[in-house]
């Protein structure tokens, strides 16, 4: 089967970086048409830089990287340096990128790419706030029906929130954008915290990355070392949750994940629960399903896949 064509929309972020590396290491299943940066974990200037650092780490300097929206649709940007460090990619020491950003706005790249490819053949993979995707849908509503699928990391049901008691970071940062995307009618697959909090980099898994004994293996081990300090302290968990790589792993091995096709609405009014993904997991409303909301991951299978693929870079 031909590889799936995707655009990765991202705010790297150590876990975004691993998600990108997994995609670049998997050309049989995934063709990365481009990477679009958005403001999120750190401001846009840094996410656009970090996306190129990751491409260069993987020796994939031909991937076009575009800068996109530098703030949410109608809010101030909230960032997460407390998790990802000042650069967004703290941990390994990686060189500044030599590859330039491609001229033009990420949103226009998303629109043009969906228009030039056959309808239903391009998948969007958002790993950060949904600002770029929502802006593209608002600017060019004709592209929505052309999207094959949106596979995104965001939201939570049983795990509720990580940036507030009620909300997950990516959705919280731009709830209005999330509302546009979830109400767009596009086919959506969601990797919420319910899944990603089971994808933990234990010490053994971290050592497996390091044992690859490659530039990429060392960098991923150092990134997850950095990232896990915060999570261990906060959740008392065994290691850092690899949120965003669940998205790219799904494209390769969808059988590793299971969930429910349900209705998901986004809270945009209440300050208390802003950005909450109100997921009708128990189907208590008659609202039609708008998302495949994942609930479980085979963590052993996920890390086996990730380690095997990173070894190829």
Q: Where are the beta strands (DSSP E) in the chain?
A: 4-10, 30-37, 65-67, 122-126, 147-153, 188-191, 200-201, 240-241, 257-262, 264-266, 277-279, 291-297
230-269 positions binding Ca ion, by CB under 5 A: 244
The binder of ligand BDR chosen from 109, 137, 157, 169 (CB under 6 A): 169
80 touches ligand BDR (CB under 6 A): yes
90 touches ligand BDR (CB under 6 A): no
174 touches Ca ion (CB under 5 A): no
The binder of ligand BDR chosen from 13, 34, 68, 275 (CB under 6 A): 13
Q: How far is the CB of 171 from ligand BDR (least distance, A)?
A: 8
32 touches ligand BDR (CB under 6 A): no
Q: Encoding tokens for residue 49?
A: 């830089």
Number of residues that bind ligand BDR (CB under 6 A): 15
Sign (positive/negative) of CA torsion 143, 149, 153, 157?
positive
Check residue 168 and report its DSSP letter: -
Angle CA 296–302–305, to nearest 5: 155
With CB under 5 to 8 Å by kind, the binding choice for 168 among Ca ion, ligand BDR, none is: ligand BDR
181-220 positions binding ligand BDR, by CB under 6 A: none
44-73 positions binding ligand BDR, by CB under 6 A: none
CB-nearer residue toward ligand BDR: 15 or 179: 15
168 touches ligand BDR (CB under 6 A): yes
Query: Which of these, 37, 29, 39, lies nearest to 6 by C-alpha position?
Result: 29
132 touches ligand BDR (CB under 6 A): no
Which of 60, 84, 197, 243 is catalytic? The answer is 243
Backbone angles phi, psi at 23, to 5 degrees: -65, -45
83 touches ligand BDR (CB under 6 A): yes
Helix 203-210 with 299-310: angle, nearest 10 deg: 20
The Cα 243–Cα 260 span in angstroms is: 19
Q: How far is the CB of 41 from Ca ion (least distance, A)?
A: 6
113-142 positions binding Ca ion, by CB under 5 A: 127-128
3-state secondary structure of 251: helix
Catalytic site includes residue 243? yes
Q: Name the segment binding ligand BDR (CB under 6 A); options: 9-17, 58-66, 265-273, 295-303.
A: 9-17
CB-nearer residue toward Ca ion: 106 or 262: 106
Helix, strand and coil content of the chain, in percent to the nearest 5, comes to 40, 20, 40
The binder of ligand BDR chosen from 127, 251, 266, 291 (CB under 6 A): 127
Burial of 176 (0-12, 13-18, 19+ CB in 10 A): middle
Q: Name the segment binding ligand BDR (CB under 6 A); options: 162-170, 221-229, 251-259, 304-312.
A: 162-170
Backbone angles phi, psi at 291, to 5 degrees: -155, 145
Residues of this chain that interact with ligand BDR (CB under 6 A) are: 13, 15-16, 41, 80, 83, 127-128, 153, 162, 168-170, 243-244
Q: Where in the sequence numbering do the catalytic residues fall?
A: 243
């Amino acid at each position: 089967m031909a590889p799936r064509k995707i655009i990765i929309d991202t705010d790297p972020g150590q876990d975004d970086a691993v998600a990108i590396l997994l995609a670049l290491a998997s050309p049989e299943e995934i063709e990365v048409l481009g990477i679009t940066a958005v403001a999120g974990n750190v401001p846009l200037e840094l996410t656009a830089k970090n996306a190129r650092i990751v491409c260069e780490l993987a020796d994939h300097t031909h991937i076009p990287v575009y800068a996109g929206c530098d703030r949410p649709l109608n809010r101030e940007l909230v960032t997460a340096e407390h998790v990802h460090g000042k650069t967004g990619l703290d941990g390994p020491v990686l060189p500044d990128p030599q590859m330039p950003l491609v001229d033009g706005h990420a949103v226009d790249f998303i629109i043009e790419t969906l228009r030039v490819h056959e309808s239903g053949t391009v998948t969007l993979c958002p790993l950060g706030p949904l600002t770029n995707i929502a802006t593209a849908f608002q600017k060019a509503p004709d592209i929505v029906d052309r999207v094959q699928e949106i596979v995104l990391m965001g939201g939570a049901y049983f795990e509720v929130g990580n940036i507030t008691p009620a909300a997950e970071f990516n959705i919280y940062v731009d709830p209005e954008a999330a509302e546009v995307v979830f109400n767009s009618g596009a086919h959506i697959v969601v990797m919420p915290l319910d899944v990603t909090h089971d994808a933990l980099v234990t010490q053994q898994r971290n050592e497996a990355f390091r044992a690859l004994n490659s530039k990429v293996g060392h960098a991923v081990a150092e990134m997850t070392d950095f990232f896990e300090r915060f999570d261990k302290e906060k959740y008392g968990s065994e290691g850092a949750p690899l949120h965003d790589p669940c998205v790219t792993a799904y494209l390769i091995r969808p059988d590793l994940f299971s969930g429910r096709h349900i209705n998901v609405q986004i809270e945009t009014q209440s300050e208390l629960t802003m950005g909450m993904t109100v997921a009708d997991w128990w189907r208590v409303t008659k609202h039609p399903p708008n998302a495949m909301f994942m609930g479980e991951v085979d963590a052993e299978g996920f890390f086996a896949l990730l380690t095997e693929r990173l070894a190829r870079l």
